[in-house]
Amino acid sequence: MCSYGYRVLMRVLIQEALFTILHGNFRDVITKFSVDLPRKRRYGGASALRQARLRNEKRYNYIQKVSEVAVQCFITDGKANVTSIILAIEGTFTSEFQQPDIFDPRLQEKLLQRVIISYGGENGFNQAIDLASETLSNIKLIQEKKVISRYFDEVSKNSNNYCFGVDETLKALEMGAVETLIVWENFDVKHYFLHDSQRSKMYTIHLCVDQEEKLDSQDKDTDAKWEHVEKMPLLEWFAKNCKKFGILRPTINFQNSNIDKDAELIDHNDNDYTFFFD
C-alpha cells in the first residue's frame, strides 16, 4: 500500500500550511503551522511601496518555511518516505508553487500532481483527495497488477519464492522470510490469542467467521477454560505486525473490481492470500 504526502496550503485571515499522510484509507496529520500574511491595502506613495515590500517578504518567508517543513516531514535518512506527493494550493499561491525549484529535488521528483483547492484545513484535505482520486486510483491499479504478475510468474516457474495458506504463511512470517504480503480485501479470517488457565499456556488460533462457533470457551478434554487475550481480524493483525516480521512492503489490499486475476488467486488451492519470500 502506498503512502502519499499532502501539503494543503490555504488562505484565510491567517495563512496555514497542513502536512498530511494518506496511507490507504488512513489519514494522519503530521504537522501544521500558521503565519499572518497581510492583505493588499489601498495605500499611496511610499506607504504603498513599503506595504508591498513587507507583504512580498512575508509571502517569500512563508513559501521557504513550507519547503523546509516539507523536508522535515517527508524525508527520512536522506530519502523520501512517501511514494508520491500531491500539492494542494489555494489559488493566490498558484504561481509561486508552480516554480520547479521551490522544493528539495528529492521531493520534487516525487511530486505527482498539483491541485487547486477552495477550502482550508480538513475540508481542503478532503477536496485535494477528491481532485486527485483518479490519479491515485490509476497508480494503485498499476502497482497491484505488477505485484500479482510477479506472484504468478513465481508460480509458473514452480520456484521456492512464494507460499500460500494460513499455516505456511505464518511459518514464513516467523522465519522472517516474507518480503511482500498480498491479502484479499474480503479476507474474513479472525486471529485469536488464547490463554489456557489450567496449563498456563498461550495458543494462537485462526478461524473463518463461519467457524467462530466452533471455538468453545472450554477445552472439552481437560475442562480448562479459554481466556480470550486478543481477538481481531487477521488482516488487521497483519497490518499491526508487518514491521515486526521485517516485511519490506506493507500489506496490499486488492479491491474485487481492480484486478482480473483476483478470482484466480482466491481459487488457487482454496487459499485467500499468499506471500513472496526468499
pLDDT digit string (tens) for the chain, length 278 residues: 455 555 544 333 346 788 888 776 667 788 888 777 666 655 555 677 777 788 788 888 888 888 899 999 889 999 988 888 888 887 767 777 777 778 899 999 888 888 888 877 777 888 888 888 888 777 776 777 788 888 888 888 888 888 888 888 888 888 888 888 887 777 788 888 777 766 677 777 777 776 766 665 545 555 556 666 677 888 888 877 777 877 755 444 444 444 444 434 433 333 333 444 33
Q: For residue 9, what are the contacts with CB-CB under 8 A and spacing of at least 6? A: 15, 17, 18, 66, 87, 88, 89, 90, 93, 97
Q: Is 211 within the bounds of a domain? A: yes
Query: Which pLDDT score, from 0 to 100, does residue 1 have?
Result: 46
List Cα–Cα distances, 118 to 111, 123, 131, 178, 198, in angstroms.
20, 9, 11, 44, 63
Spatial distance between the Cα atoms of 111 and 89, rounded to a whole number of angstroms: 13
Cα dihedral 34→37→39→41 (10° resolution): 150
A 10 A CB-CB count for 264 gives: 11
Domain that holds residue 121: 3-131
32 with 67, same domain: the answer is yes
Q: What is the pLDDT of residue 239?
A: 77
Number of domains composing the chain:
2
Q: Is 125 exposed, middle or buried (0-12, 13-18, 19+ CB in 10 A)?
A: buried
Same domain? 84 vs 45 = yes
Q: Which residues touch 137 (CB under 8 Å, ≥6 apart)?
A: none
CATH number, position 50: 3.30.420.60
- pLDDT, residue 77, reads 92
Mark which of 87, 105, 131 sits at the end of a domain. 131
14 and 105 in a single domain? The answer is: yes
Q: What pLDDT, on a 0 to 100 scale, did the predictor assign at position 262?
A: 41
Residue type, 241: N
By residue count, the chain amounts to 278
Same domain, 113 and 212: no
pLDDT at 248: 55
Q: Which residues are CB-contacts of 232 (< 8 A; sequence separation ≥ 6)?
A: 190, 191
The span from the CA of 98 to the CA of 120, in Å, is 19
Among 73, 100, 131, give the residue marking a domain's end: 131
Residue with cell 526468499: 278
